[in-house]
Amino acid sequence: MDFELKTLNSKGPQGGRADAVIMPVPEGWQAGGDAVSGLAAQAHGHGDLPTKPGKVLQMYRPEGPGPRRMVFVGAGQGTAREVRQAVAAALSAIKSPDMRVLALHLGGLKDVGEAVVRATMLAVSDVSYTYTATKSRPQPRALRAVEIWVPDPTALRNGVARAAALVGGMELAREWANRPGNHATPRMLAKAAKDLAGSNGISCEVLDEKAIRRLGMGSFLAVAQGSAQPPRFIILKYKGAAASQAPVVLVGKGITFDTGGISIKPAPEMDEMKFDMGGAASVLGVFAALAKARPAVNVVGLIPTCENMPDGLAVKPGDVVTSMSGQTIEILNTDAEGRLILCDALTYASRFKPAAVVDIATLTGACVIALGAVRSGLFSPDDALAGALAAAGESALDPCWRMPLDDDYAEGLKTNFADVANVAGRAGGSVTAAKFLQRFATGYPWAHLDIAGTAWKSGAAKGATGRPVALLFEYLCSLEAQPSVKAQPRRSAGRAR
């Protein structure tokens, strides 16, 4: 799907090639001099023009040449969030299998900046995305081009290009998270990562089971041992800045299917556990966006990926394993497996001497109870990093909420039989999970994003959302304006850490 900026003139999209035109109309709107604005003025004069967010007025084959359909949609105060909601509502109302070209008329908005334009592009992507990978008679998205009509495109070109890169990254993340477990195995996920390599500064290395064992990742391997599918450890690198600039490391949980292991999950809705690699999918999506946008930052992506299955070799409740850091872990619940693969990846991350490390995981149902599907959970002991991620989420319309990390929450992780237990009971489950990870995230600024409530939707709208690719991409792009951080000399991140 291509996005193209157009200069709004007297004819505007009415004289273009679009099959449909969408025009968001904010409160206090004043008509412009183009043909579409003229139609809007007529509707406004009769009291029929909506300005309440999401309210739609449709026209079919208005007089004169131009698109078959025209939709005016209320946009409230014209904020980026309201415009995104408006465009999504309008496109849902006119979605048809034969619409090839869509025009977005943004001339009625008071502030047509990069944030608003990006919001419209994300809305179009979200509504028009179609999953086809495992259908025998796929019907791919018909929409091929989106024209964005604005009074002055000059200042928006870079923003549109970056937003188009983000759209591509989010759709890649949605694609891989949506695939069922037998079409998204650890080896398949590794191939998807390799396919990104070679494009604009991206390289990829994939470690097999033997290499993972040599690193001493006993916690990661314990989760993988119950599956016939071999684990993989994926290392992606994006070099957009000088080698002296320390990278940001993104760590994505890649459980390609989660049965819960011996602590098996209930059968209803277990199919949704194909989404348990949403963190890994988001890392792939971010790297796809980086390859197109080329921001001046260095980024490393780490994806530990495996299945969590309950066969005769599977790890058992009460088993004790040794992590890459040398810490021993009593596995009280095999369904708390995400933290077991992430902890070894967090230890491995230290070898890059990172400026910051952010792990992303569909980690706990407790976070869904706490925050629902609106905000991702943000955990970090570092105020500056937490603030930057929260600000990026607000700007990208991909919000998160900072949760506590008091040391008292770690009391429940104590055990008589190992250095730490992998669970601490139901109370404060998302926080105790983060406290577990914090033990392994030492020597660098660290944050944890729990996306269990935001990475996918259930019910009739079941499917991946592509979150938090927008948050992460916005955060990484914001680092371009900051002074570069020199990388420190590398030291081994082995057992004696």
Give the catalytic positions in this structure.
265, 339
- Give the pairing type, strands 56-60 and 69-74: antiparallel
What 8-state DSSP symbol labels residue 413?
A: G
Count of residues in the chain = 497
Distance between CA atoms of residues 283 and 329, nearest Å: 27
Structure tokens that stand for 9 in this block = 């003139």
Query: What is the C-alpha radius of gyration for the chain, rounded to an integer number of angstroms?
Result: 24
Q: Residue 164, SS3?
A: helix
The distance between the two most distant Cα atoms of the chain, rounded to a whole number of Å, is 80
Quick one: angle between helices 114-128 and 157-178, nearest 10?
Answer: 30
CA distances from residue 403 to 217, 408, 474 in whole angstroms, order as listed: 29, 14, 21
Cβ-contact 1, 99 below 8 angstroms: no
Q: What is the rounded (10 degree) CA torsion for 478, 482, 486, 490?
A: -20
Conformation bin of residue 382: beta by default, left when phi > 0, alpha when psi is -120 to 50: beta
Q: Which stretches of 129-200 are DSSP H helices? A: 157-178, 186-196
- Give the pairing type, strands 456-457 and 376-379: unpaired
DSSP string, 13-65: GGGSS-SEEEEEE-TT----SSHHHHHHHHHHHTT----STT-EEEEES-SSS
Match 């994926």 to its residue by tokens: 234
State the DSSP H helix or E strand holding residue 249, giving kind and residue range, or none if neither.
Answer: strand 248-252
For 331, other C-beta atoms within 10 Å of its C-beta total 25
Distance between CA atoms of residues 345 and 303, nearest Å: 8
Q: Which amino acid, residue 396?
A: A
Match 């009769």 to its residue by tokens: 46
